[in-house]
Amino acid sequence: MSIQIRFLLLSLIAFSMIACSEPNETTAEEAEPMKVRTGAEMLIENHLDELDGQRVGLVMNPTARIGNTHMLDTLMALDVNVSALFAPEHGFRGEAGAGEKIEDGVDQETGLPVFSLYGDTRKPTPEMLEEVDLLIFDMQDVGARFYTYNATMGLVIEAAADVGIPVWILDRPNPAGGDYVSGWLMEDEHQSFVGAYPIPVAHGLTLGELAEMAVDENWLNTDAQPDVRVIQMDGWTRDMKWPDTGLDWVAPSPNLPTFDHAFMYLGTVYFEGTSLSEGRGTNDPFLTAGAPATYLSDGVLEDLNNLTNNVSVEATEFTPESIPGVAISPKHQDTVCYGVKITLNGYDFDPVRTGLKIFTTLVQSTSEYEIRDFIYLLAGSTEIDQLMSGELTVEEINFELGEFLESREQYLLY
């Protein structure tokens, strides 16, 4: 591609980004400037020439966007030699629901091979990487230990190190904020794909920072030295929550359609470890919860509404339904459930502790339910048993995060 054509494409992309960041019928003086430019934007702006002559593999999902355009399409338009695509949970372009197996295939828009990292194989094989000189990883995380994209990132780094391929992480904001850290540290016996590293539930790191920490703390299973490079954001600061970034929310998974859902998810995910519904099969998963045998008294609802001014909790009835690509066969499908509807009025609160309080209250208000071992993988600790039984209150928990906060300090990029 000639320098002139590439410059024209870059100019068009920049114009598209500006147009997407400003609401209609708003003057330049009134428009809120975009505060954050993602690692993807910084790659295009500053590092595109470094991809010349490279066969590039992409580990991405629908959140890998600049403006309204997927990074794959942007890179192809800029004549980058993309040779292979790798699909995490939910698929490369987001065609699968939670837990649905991803199959190898072909990207219909480009004809490129798509290798599944969420099926029989979760770590790229040497054969998958034969036509790749460099891997680029770009996904929007939600800042939770149990969100599987960070585990996929670690496996990708391991596989790349084993065959001597560098990995570039295109950094994106931690939506919950870089100063927000909460929840249990994962204990070794609960390590799994939803808990790959000994970090808290809400770790306050970007994926780029987490990648560097995982490498230097020897959390990865490889004898080779990983070659990891983080393409940093511009304009992101640790005190920002998602609404402060100026970026549009692109759902990182089908059941987190807005930032409100993702923020509360940090604390209401624990319903997934029980027979109570976490709201899958409704319009508001993780903001809706309950079961057919849940009963909430007026006093209990009043207590929940006194947790914080930023959260309103009201009694509700809901009937989970199967939603293709979003919630296949949700718990209590087609059965009336009783529980709560959560509304966020602001973000100045601890969603892990608030969610745990709502969770334990509903568990204790439900006459028939089951606890599943999955809950310990989510919590990373069996201390959650004491919460559910009432032996311990949420206010009494000491997550003991001092050592983690000290150790993570050297990996903070912003």
Q: What's the confidence (pLDDT) of residue 19? A: 47
Average pLDDT, the chain: 91
Q: What is the mean pLDDT of residues 387-407?
A: 96
Cα–Cα distances in Å, from 135 out to 47, 104, 156, 170, 267?
A: 14, 18, 9, 11, 33
Is the model's pLDDT at 3 over the cut of 50?
Answer: no
Is the model's pLDDT at 5 over the cut of 60?
Answer: no
In eight-state DSSP terms, residue 195 is B
Is the model's pLDDT at 167 over the cut of 80?
Answer: yes
Nearest-10 crossing angle of helices 298-305, 351-364? 170
Is the model's pLDDT at 21 over the cut of 70?
Answer: no
Domains of the chain: 3-251 (3.40.50.12170), 259-382 (3.90.1150.140)
Percent over 90 (pLDDT), the chain = 85
Is the model's pLDDT at 147 over the cut of 70?
Answer: yes
Report the b/e string of 92-120 with b at 16+ CB within 10 A: bbbebbbebebeeeebeeeebbbbbbbee
Mean pLDDT is highest, among 10-14, 86-90, 288-292, for 288-292
Could you tell me if 10 and 16 are in contact, meaning their C-beta atoms sit under 8 angstroms apart?
no
Is the model's pLDDT at 35 over the cut of 90?
Answer: no
Residue 80 vs residue 91, higher pLDDT = 80
Q: What's the confidence (pLDDT) of residue 109? A: 85
Rounded Cα distance between 365 and 339, Å, is: 9
Could you tell me if 352 and 311 are in contact, meaning their C-beta atoms sit under 8 angstroms apart?
no
Residues 6+ apart with CB under 8 A from 52: none
Q: What's the confidence (pLDDT) of residue 90? A: 75
Name the band, by pLDDT with cuts 50, 70 and 90, for residue 103: confident
Residue 8 phi, psi dihedral angles, 5° rounding: -65, -45
pLDDT 10s digits, 311-366:
999 999 999 999 998 999 999 999 999 999 999 999 999 999 999 999 999 999 99
Could you tell me if 250 and 65 are in contact, meaning their C-beta atoms sit under 8 angstroms apart?
yes
Q: What is the mean pLDDT of residues 137-151?
A: 97
Structure tokens at 88: 């995490």
Q: What's the confidence (pLDDT) of residue 371? A: 97
Q: What's the confidence (pLDDT) of residue 163? A: 98
User: Can you tell me which residue has the tokens 């609160």?
Assistant: 349
Q: What's the confidence (pLDDT) of residue 12? A: 53
Q: What is the mean pLDDT of residues 96-122?
A: 80
Name the band, by pLDDT with cuts 50, 70 and 90, for residue 134: very high
Report the b/e string of 271-296 with b at 16+ CB within 10 A: bbbbbbbbbbbbebbbbbbbbbebeb
Structure tokens at 142: 């939600």
Q: Are strands 134-138 and 56-60 parallel, antiparallel or unpaired?
A: parallel
